[in-house]
Structure 1
Amino acid sequence: MRRTPWAFAPLVAAVLWGGLYVVSKWTFAAIPPITLAFIRVSLGAATLLVVVRRYYPDRSFSRRDWYGFGVIAIWLAVSLATQFLGTDLTTAGEGSLITVTTPVFTVLMGVLVLGESVTFRRAAGVLAALVGTAVVVAGRHDPSTLGAGAGVGIAMLVLASVTWAGYTVWGAPLIRRYSALETATYSTALVVPLFALAVPLELHFTDASIGLDAFTLPVLAAIVYLGVAGTAVAWYCWYKGLEYLDAGTVAVFLFAQPVVGAALGAAFLGEPLGTGFLLGGAMMAAGIYVVSTDRVDEGA
């Protein structure tokens, strides 16, 4: 592994995603899930395209590369669609708990697809971070709400976790051939037409409707957060980590997402944290440190 501050870029992504569940859930009252996902990726892609044309104005890609971008765009589209639909159908506790399975799926895919190694140190770090994050989530949400959401919603969130792992792992070769910025940009751009096709189907089959009056200032602020911070910046930071670290190491930073969400709830909503947050947060941080300092790839 190369030691550089950019290796911690995925932690920035996890911080930006900390409030994603609450913001998405709240915005669904005005904009249905697939339509919101379309708006989100459109804004994210537009933001990334402006930046990528500034830094790589003359870059061209082969047909094979565009095929690669298309593959990870499909992973991304399925992940985002099932994440938003699953979020709409589940409770906050269920969403937070299922989110912490994503790094586990990513580590497994990294081993199976990329041939990455899992040392005892790495396995112990992932386990510590998983348990610590679960402790934080359990202390934040009422256990009686678990199981209250629709079973199909839970299944969708699991699928979202698996497909995000696929987006991470299958994106790694393109990132290392070109850059995190280009890979994040063009995969996001290719997602836009996929959601554009899905929006009319959602509006037709769910009888949902959306008018200009839905775009109030708070809703517009939420859209900017989702599209610019939660998509353009966060997806770039996530992929930026893959320029320096393997997929299994990058994945462990995602354990910070529910912990950041709990901290934001305390800071802005006055929600209590308790000793479970301190204990679980310490375990999560220790697990991330152990995995991020594992030197299994050095000399490779």
Structure 2
Amino acid sequence: MSATFGRYAFALAPLAAAALWGGMYVVSKWGFALVPPVTLGFLRVALGAGALWLVVAGRGGPAPARDEWSTFAALGGWVTLTVATQFVGTELTNASQGSLLTVLTPVFTVALGALVLGERVTPAKAGGMTVAGAGTAVVLAGRYEFASIAAGNLLGVALLLVASAAWVGYTVWGLRAVRRHGALRAATYSSLASVPMLGALAAGELWYLGRSPAEVPLTVESAAAVLYLGLASTAAAWFLWYKGLEYVSAGTVAVFFFAQPVVGAALGGALLGEALGPGFLAGGALMAVGIWVVSRERADPADGPAESTAE
């Protein structure tokens, strides 16, 4: 595989991650009826981290050095903050407010990538992000009533904003770990580091609610929600998101996040018979053009392949 082909092929990995996240809002909302949000987030990450670790263990290779675990602990902190605020915020908000997470995350990533990593915001990248964002907004406008954004829970909106910023931190500060260890190991060890943190928060949540772990219902529905969130939305999606960082900048990877609501709308149309309307086609086309423009940019010198590509 040539370096150029590899770069563009693996740049599609974040698009696959966005596709897996497309149905996460609905599944998590459904799961909250059965499992408290932070507890559901803990189960999600514990399952995802375990699945990733099994793959890493099966492939063999050295574990990170002791002094490198501080990096993964910090990334685990970003994971913990993301999942806890996202799930509690999702429970408190409506679908229109939840869409803010999708629209703002790429913008935050480009800004922080420029500030922290020195990534260039070229006219092509800025233009492509604008077009993709506009397309996503058109799709969202066709699905949700934006007037209800101000009518919902403001605390939930604030938590979703924190979740968006925390995921940006996981993306931007994770780039060097990805380039050093490869996407699989970086996603695995950062997820493992977050498990005890989320476990402590989940224990606190259950204590606050006056529930014991034994009272969390084990049903077909709750198991299905945890399996989807853990294996698809966490293990697979987080690996794919980091895989893109092996080859392109954080700002370039971020543009694929705009695809999440488009995939969600398409799934709603295909599986639930929801009407898509002309806005979906127009918005989806704009989003695709914007992603295409950004993904065709030549990489900065710092955007080369990872030092370790064992995956």
208 and 262 in structure 1: CA distance in 2 versus 1, 3 angstrom threshold: farther
1:45: which partner in 2?
A: 49
Match of 1:95 among 93, 98, 101: 98
Q: How does 1:65-76 map to 2 (within 5 A)?
A: 65-76=68-79
Find runs of 4+ consecutive structure 1 residues off by over 4 angstroms: 208-213
Give how far 1:146 is off: 1.9
Distance 1:284 1:213 in 2: 40
Match of 1:191 among 180, 190, 194: 194
1:114-160 residue CA offsets vs partner (Å, 9 max, x unmatched): 11001001000001111110110111012342223210100000110
Match of 2:136 among 133, 137, 154: 133
Distance 2:209 2:117 in 1: 40
- Give the number of aligned pairs: 299
Distance 1:215 1:147 in 2: 36
Q: Root-mean-square deviation (CA), in Å?
A: 1.6
1:34 matched to 2:57? The reply is no
1:123 matched to 2:121? The reply is no
1:3 matched to 2:5? The reply is yes
Give % identity.
53
**Unpaired segments of 5 or more residues in structure 2?**
304-311
2:289: which partner in 1?
A: 286
1:16: which partner in 2?
A: 20
Contact 2:52 2:188 in 1 (8 A): yes
172 and 2 in structure 1: CA distance in 2 versus 1, 3 angstrom threshold: farther
Distance 1:89 1:208 in 2: 20
1:267: which partner in 2?
A: 270
Contact 1:97 1:134 in 2 (8 A): no
1:275-297 residue CA offsets vs partner (Å, 9 max, x unmatched): 11111111111000000001142
Give how far 1:262 is off: 0.6
Contact 1:75 1:166 in 2 (8 A): yes
Give how far 1:92 is off: 0.7
Contact 2:41 2:198 in 1 (8 A): yes
Distance 2:70 2:216 in 1: 40
Contact 1:30 1:210 in 2 (8 A): no
Distance 2:39 2:206 in 1: 8
**Unpaired segments of 5 or more residues in structure 1?**
none
Q: 2:23 is paired with a residue of what secondary structure?
A: helix
2:184 partner letter: L
